[in-house]
Amino acid sequence: MRAQNLPAMSGWQWVTGGFAIYRRNPAVLSMLVVSYWFVVVFLNLFPMVGALAASVVIPGLSVGLMQAARNIERGQSANIQTLFGGFRENTRTLLVLGALYLLATLAVLGLSTIADGGDLLRYMLASSKAERALVEDADFTLPALIVAIFMVPVLMAWWFAPILAAWHRQPLGKSLFFSFVACSMNWRPFVIYGLGLMLVAAVIPGLLLGLLLIILPGLQGFATVLVTVAMALVIAPTVFASFYVGYRDIFGISEIV
C-alpha cells in the first residue's frame, strides 16, 4: 500500500470534491449524516456505557458514510443499509479502533491535569450543568493547548485507519501506522484542508448569520435556526464526503482489495 504525496492545494480540492458529491444526491447524503448523528446521540443518552458504545460504533458508521459517498460518486444507490454496511468487513478491528480512540482521547485529557489539576477533564466529563458550573470559571487556555498539541498525532493515526481496516483488511497496528504516515506525508494539504473546513463550516455560516440578523433584526431565533439547518443538511454532508475524497486522492484507489 502506497500513499501519494499531494500538493498543498489538494486540501481545498477535497472540500470542493466533497460538495460535488453532495450535489449529486443531497437528500440521501443528508439523511445518512442525520442518521449517523442520531445513533451517536442516542447511545450517549446512557451514562458511561453509552459513551463507550458510541465510540465503538463510530469507526464503522464513518466507513458507511464513506461507502455512501463512493456510491453516490459512481452513480450507485445509497441507503440506510449503506450506513451500517461499514461493519461488514474487519468488524473486530473497527470496534477496537473506536474503543482505543476513546482511551487515547481520555489519556490526552489526562495530560491536561498537569496544567490545571484536572479542571478541564472534570468539565469535559461533567454530565450536568451543575457539575460544569463548579469549574467553568477556571482558565482552560493552557490545558486546552496541551490537548490540541497531543491530539494531533492521535487524529493522524485514526484519520484513515477505519477505512484501511474495512476496505483494505489491514490489522489494527498497520491501519494506524499507514494512516499516520499518509497524514505526515501530506501535512501541507491537511493544513489547507483544515483552513478550508474553517471557511465553509465557521466563517461562511457566521457571515450568513450576521447578514440575516441585519436583514431580519427582529427574527434572531429564525435566522439562527436557518443557519443551523443549513449546516446540518449541507455543510456536514459535504465534510463527510470530503473525507472520502481525501482518502481516494491520497491512496489512489477506492476499490475494496
CA 217/CA 18 separation, integer angstroms: 33
What pLDDT, on the 0 to 100 scale, is given for residue 220? Answer: 77
What pLDDT, on the 0 to 100 scale, is given for residue 213? Answer: 81
Domain ranges of the chain: 10-251
CA 29/CA 23 separation, integer angstroms: 9
CA 95/CA 93 separation, integer angstroms: 5
Closest C-alpha to 158, from 244, 98, 84 = 98
CA 137/CA 140 separation, integer angstroms: 9
- Tell me the average confidence (pLDDT) per consecutive run of 10 residues in the chain, 257 residues long: 90 96 95 95 87 93 96 94 91 95 90 75 66 64 84 96 94 96 96 95 86 79 80 91 96 64
What pLDDT, on the 0 to 100 scale, is given for residue 3? Answer: 87
Q: Which three cell numbers stand for residue 125?
A: 466529563
SS3 (DSSP) at 228: helix
What pLDDT, on the 0 to 100 scale, is given for residue 222? Answer: 74
What pLDDT, on the 0 to 100 scale, is given for residue 133? Answer: 62
What pLDDT, on the 0 to 100 scale, is given for residue 64? Answer: 96
What pLDDT, on the 0 to 100 scale, is given for residue 239? Answer: 95
What pLDDT, on the 0 to 100 scale, is given for residue 58? Answer: 96
What pLDDT, on the 0 to 100 scale, is given for residue 91? Answer: 93
What pLDDT, on the 0 to 100 scale, is given for residue 238? Answer: 95
